[in-house]
Structure 1
Amino acid sequence: MNILITSAGQRVSLVRAFQKELKIFFPEAKVFAADMCPELSPACHIADQYFEVKKVTAIEYIDGLLQLCIANDIKMVVPTIDTELLVLSKNKQLFEKEGIHVIISSFSLVDKCRDKRKTTAFFQECGIEVPAAIDKNNPTFPLFIKPYNGSLSAETYLITSPDDLKDYHLQNERFLFMEYINKNNHDEYTVDMYFDRKHNVKCIVPRLRLFVRAGEVNKGITSKNVLVPYLKEKLSTIKGAVGCLTVQFFLNKVTERIVAIEINPRFGGGYPLSYCAGANYPQWLIREYFLNEKINYTEDWENGLLMLRYDDEIIVHASNG
């Protein structure tokens, strides 16, 4: 019952969490990691063993990954970055035929999450408010621009006046123009949501984003606030959703207006905070997919748990060989 974390990169805490939980049920099992450059991946050096894989866009990527899993008795694959989600969801059945669980939502849902135009439509269908669209030919200021298929906050722009609006912004078909949500009046949350095999939500953990570095939370705190009952009602079931989904919201500090931003159908970089708070998604995946157990809905996690991240080092000695 080995587990593989793909595109492991710097996900050291996630690898360690899976190692800890897997050993409880299967002491001899291993948590492997894969990456394009595993020698330069801290998480790969923490894993029980690592593998080098092709770029996810390569034609041979899926077959190579499948053969790797079969050869190493890997029964669960956990993806961690946006670029691999569509291709893995599209080929999920190939792995299922070999008894390998790829923890990825359906292709239809992943497609909605990867295209922010479709994400907006999804939220609206669920009765969840999103930032108001702005007509770029008749704009009001301030406004916010982001690409419909971006990630890690790349190519996002706050436009405060007509002078800030350039031809590059207006002519780029990837850009969405929308209402600017003032962060002085709103708190930004990432919510770690766990969905079981039947696509029902089993846990909801809002994490206040106190400080973000390179698009990933660096300082955060768990918060049992209005988002929990709100999301339990609005997103109690999402067709095709499995495992961890991270959903981003703005919450007005005074009015408690809730505005949805995006969904990432994978473990987020800040998930270790939810894990330490008691939202044990790695264990639940093991119990669901390896032990065929049912996961019950829970709010039994620590409120107000603060995470302060810092840089650390993985030292790898040169081989004598």
Structure 2
Amino acid sequence: MNILITSAGRRVSLVKAFQKELKTLIPEGKVMTTDFNISLSSACRVSDGAFQLPLVTDSDYLNLLINVCLQNNIKLIIPTIDTELLLLAQNKQLLIKNGITPIVASHDFINICRDKRQMSSFFIENNIKVAKEYSKYDYKLPLFIKPFNGSRSVDTFIINSHEDLTEYHFKNENLMFLEYLDHSKYEEFTCDLYYDKNHYLKSVVPRQRIEVRDGEVNKGITKRNVLVDYIKEHLSYIDGAIGCLTAQFFKHLSKDKIYGIEINARFGGGFPLAYAAGANYPKWIIEEYLFNKDIAFYDAWEDNLLMLRYDNEVLVHDYKE
């Protein structure tokens, strides 16, 4: 029984984590990958087999994906980018009929995660504070501007004065004007959450974001703080959530104030820190979906584990295009 990590790109650590856990439980098991250009994907180079697929927007993508799975005894699909999630969720029953289980949340919950305004409503319904959204004609400085449907910190702006605002900010209907949460007063955390197949929370690992590069944590540290109990209280069950979710929160340095920012319904780029700390989400996915085991709540991960990322190389000899 094999696993497929799609759009693997440079997620070498995630591939290696699944390889380690799968081979422990199923020695002959393989962790395979797909990408738009497998020859230039470091994760595809270290996986047990790689398959080139078109972009997820291609009309033949799903059929090609299913064929890859059927021809290679792939039983689980682990998506890694937002654009795949809706397609996999919409076609989940078709995949299951073919003996393939995509580890993907429900269509409805993914739609919430993909729309920052719906996400704000979701947080409010769960008694979690959110940054106020202003009208573009009635706002207070400083502002934080971001797209309601964006990712990877693209098109985000901190506005300190009226001179920083441009026609682009006002005319772009995708951009939201939000209350700015001052980084000198708030700490920013990404929390890796694990939800079992019945949508119950089984683990919370807050990672403080010390430094971010291209929207992904470059330096981070695990922190066993109030966010663990806070998330257990407010998000112990999320209808439609399964597997790894990545949730972002701001926590005030001195006051009892926590703001929900967003949730991504997939593994985040900084998950290797939570895995290194002992939160073994790859193992739990394998146990739940290939061995039908129940997952107990896990809270014994390593506190204050610091991750300092650096660039490394995957060398390919005699490479030909």
TM range (shorter): over 0.9
Q: Which runs of 5+ in 2 are unaligned?
A: none
Counterpart in the other structure of 2:98: 98
Alignment gaps of 5+ in structure 1 = none
Q: Which amino acid aligns with 1:111?
A: N
**Cα distance 1:160–1:93, how it changes in 2: closer, same or farther (>3 A)?**
same
What CA distance in whole angstroms lies between the structure 2 residues aligned with 1:195 and 1:82? 18
Write out aligned runs for 1:1-321 (5 A): 1-318=1-318
Deviation at 1:77, TM superposition (A): 0.3
- Cα distance in structure 1, aligned partners of 2:257 and 2:139: 23
Count of matched residue positions in the alignment of Structure 1 and Structure 2: 321
Distance 2:236 2:319 in 1: 51
Superposition deviation, residue 85 in structure 1: 1.1
Q: Between 163-172 and 299-308, report the one with greater CA deviation.
A: 163-172
Paired residue type of 1:314:
V
Q: Distance in 2 between matches of 1:290 and 1:202?
A: 18
Tell me the distance in 1 between the aligned counterparts of 2:209 and 2:256.
Answer: 16
Match for 1:228: what amino acid? V
Deviation, 1:256, is 3.4
Q: Is the 8 A contact 1:197 1:242 kept in 2?
A: yes
The secondary structure found in structure 2 opposite 1:45 is helix
**Alpha-carbon contact 1:220-1:308 (below 8 Å) kept:** yes
- 1:135: how far off? 2.0
Deviations 1:81-113 (A, max 9, x none): 111111111111111111211000000000100
Output the amino acid matched with 2:82.
Answer: D
The 2-side partners of 1:164 and 1:11 are apart by: 36
Q: Name the SS for the 2:151 alignment partner.
A: coil
TM-score w.r.t. the length of structure 1 is: 0.98
TM-score, with normalisation over the residues of structure 2? 0.98
User: Counterpart of 2:133 in 1: which secondary structure?
Assistant: coil
Relative to 1, partners in 2 of residues 1:39 and 1:235: Cα closer, same or farther, differing over 3 Å? same
The letter of the residue matching 1:62 is: L
CA contact (8 A) 1:192 1:274 kept: yes
Residue type of the partner of 2:233?
E
